[in-house]
Amino acid sequence: MHNSQLSTLNFQLHEVAPYINWIYFFHAWGFQPRFAAIADIHGCDVCRASWLTTFEEQDRPKAAEAMQLLKEANRMLNLLDEDFQVKSAFRLCKANSDGDNLILDGTILPLLRQQTHKNDEPFLCLSDFVRPLSSGIPDTVGVFVSTVSEDMEKMYQNDSYKHLLVQTLADRLAEAATEKMHEYVRKEIWGYAKNENLSMPEILHEKFQGIRPAVGYPSLPDQSINFILNNLLNMQEIGISLTENGAMHPHASVSGLMISHPQAKYFSIGKIGEDQLIDYAGRRNMPVEVMKKFLAGNI
Contacts 24+ apart (CB under 8 A), 59-65: 62/31, 62/35, 63/35, 63/38, 65/31
Is residue 1, in this structure, part of any structural domain at all? Answer: no
Instruction: Please give the pLDDT value at position 4.
Output: 79
Distance separating alpha carbons of residues 233 and 260, to the nearest angstrom: 19
Q: How many CB atoms neighbour CB 281 within 10 A?
A: 19
The domain of 56 spans 7-298
Q: Is the pLDDT of residue 222 over 60?
A: yes
The 10s digit of each residue's pLDDT in 58-115 is 999 999 999 999 999 999 999 999 999 999 999 999 999 999 999 999 999 999 999 9
Specify the 3-state DSSP secondary structure of 191.
coil
The 10s digit of each residue's pLDDT in 150-194 is 999 999 999 999 999 999 999 999 999 999 999 999 999 999 999
pTM of the model: 0.95
**Residue 17 CB burial class (10 angstroms; 0-12, 13-18, ≥19):** buried
Contact between 169 and 25 under an 8 Å Cβ cutoff? The reply is yes
Instruction: Please give the pLDDT value at position 1.
Output: 54
Instruction: Please give the pLDDT value at position 3.
Output: 62
Q: Is the pLDDT of residue 43 over 90?
A: no
Q: Is the pLDDT of residue 226 over 90?
A: yes
- Which residues is 145 bridged to in the sheet? 89, 255
Candidates 82, 77, 85, 69; CA nearest to 161 is 69
Is residue 63, in this structure, part of any structural domain at all? Answer: yes
Instruction: Please give the pLDDT value at position 180.
Output: 98
Kindly write down the DSSP assignment for every residue of 139-178, as one continuous string.
EEEEEEEEEE-HHHHTTTTT-HHHHHHHHHHHHHHHHHHH
Which residues fall within 8 angstroms of residue 252, CB to CB, at 6 or more apart?
147, 148, 152, 153, 167, 170, 171, 173, 174
Is residue 253, in this structure, part of any structural domain at all? Answer: yes
Provide the phi-psi class of 209: left if phi over 0, else alpha when psi is between -120 and 50, else beta.
Answer: beta
Is residue 190, in this structure, part of any structural domain at all? Answer: yes
CATH code of 187's domain: 3.10.196.10
Is residue 59, in this structure, part of any structural domain at all? Answer: yes
- Place 119 in a pLDDT band, splitting at 50, 70 and 90: confident
Distance separating alpha carbons of residues 273 and 45, to the nearest angstrom: 56
Instruction: Please give the pLDDT value at position 117.
Output: 79
Is residue 2, in this structure, part of any structural domain at all? Answer: no
Is residue 26, in this structure, part of any structural domain at all? Answer: yes
Distance separating alpha carbons of residues 169 and 177, to the nearest angstrom: 12
Q: Nearest-5° angle of CA 220, CA 222, CA 223?
A: 110
- Place 42 in a pLDDT band, splitting at 50, 70 and 90: confident
Is residue 225, in this structure, part of any structural domain at all? Answer: yes
- Place 120 in a pLDDT band, splitting at 50, 70 and 90: confident
Contact between 170 and 73 under an 8 Å Cβ cutoff? The reply is no
Q: Please count the structural domains in the chain.
A: 1
The DSSP code for 97 is E
**Average pLDDT of the chain to the nearest whole number:** 96
